[in-house]
Amino acid sequence: MHSLHFLFALCSFVSAAHLSQSSFDDIIQHVGEPVGSEHVHDGVTMYISPASRPNDSKTAVLYLTDAFGLPLLQNKLLADSFARAGFTTIMPDIFRGDPAPHDIYFDADEFLAKHTTNVTDPVIETTISYMRNTLRFDRIAVTGYCFGGRYAFRFLRKGRGADIGFAAHPSFLQDSEVLAINGPASIAAAEIDTLFEPARRFEVEGMLNQTAHPYQVTLYSGTFHGFGTRGNISIPEQKFGKEEAFFQAVRWFKAWQ
């Protein structure tokens, strides 16, 4: 009797564990063809990955990329992963056709001088307006990576359009942008990141603590700047960090949507 119970308990434990692992793997995918498509709305190119049941959630994800933008396959695959997690995901071309070239040397100073906040903000404003007024989503969860991480915070400010935010390894994040948030904010940080050093992370934690909003700051060992999108998935710690940072965002959005 006891052993039968034990066996039953063990079987259900094993199958539950198996199920949840495979459902995680079904949601986040690192290889393959993107399933979303590009559209132009109000002069802004957007990669759109619809949730399989778009009407299930009134919340959509606004995905703000790293400097490599829409051409980077991992960005599209991660946007698709958010869609599989239940959120229609909109990824605007925040560089207006002029992203950083991937994997070759580029002049970061020149790139940043071209892509200032006064140039980038209007693209995001147009996207938010499209998400709310045309697609009719009630709430916007913003996820941002590196360059885009800063903008996740900028648009979490009151009246700027986002309701919940997540940023992986944000770069150039300003104090005023952290202090002005008007909704829950979550950060995934890399162990090695010259653009978000430990001392800066602690400062940001202290500022988040001064806001009245829920916050989370999680550090992933064995990771480098960029791991949330470009982590090397053949290295177990980086694969875990990339996947866990993704599920950190999904859990955050579901908890506070």
**CA-to-CA distance for 125 and 218, rounded, in angstroms?**
28
Supply the DSSP symbol for 99. P
Q: Count CB atoms within 10 A of the CB of residue 177.
A: 21
232/257 with CB nearer ligand NAG: 232
Rounded CA gap, 116 and 198, in Å?
25
Q: Which of 80, 93, 163, 193 is catalytic?
A: 193
| Phi-psi category of residue 103: left, alpha or beta, with phi > 0 → left and psi -120 to 50 → alpha | left
Residue the block writes with tokens 């010259």: 194
Query: Is 25 designated active site?
Result: no
- For the chain, the straight-line distance linking the first and the last C-alpha, in angstroms and rounded, comes to 46
Kindly tell me which of 1 and 105 has the beta carbon lying closer to ligand NAG.
105
Q: Judged by CB, which is closer to ligand NAG: 55, or 194? A: 55
Taking the complex as a whole, the smallest distance from the CB of residue 74 to ligand NAG amounts, in Å, to 11
Asked about 146 being catalytic, the answer comes back as yes
Annotate 165-191 with three-state secondary structure: EEEECCCCCCHHHHHCECCCEEEEEEE
Q: Please say if 193 is a catalytic residue.
A: yes
Decide if 141 contacts 59 (C-beta within 8 A).
yes
Site residues (vs ligand NAG, CB under 6 A): 54-55, 116, 118-119, 205-206, 209, 232, 234-235
Is 18 or 106 the residue whose CB approaches ligand NAG more closely? 106
Which residue out of 80, 146, 163, 169 is catalytically annotated? 146
Query: What residues are annotated to the active site?
Result: 146, 193, 225
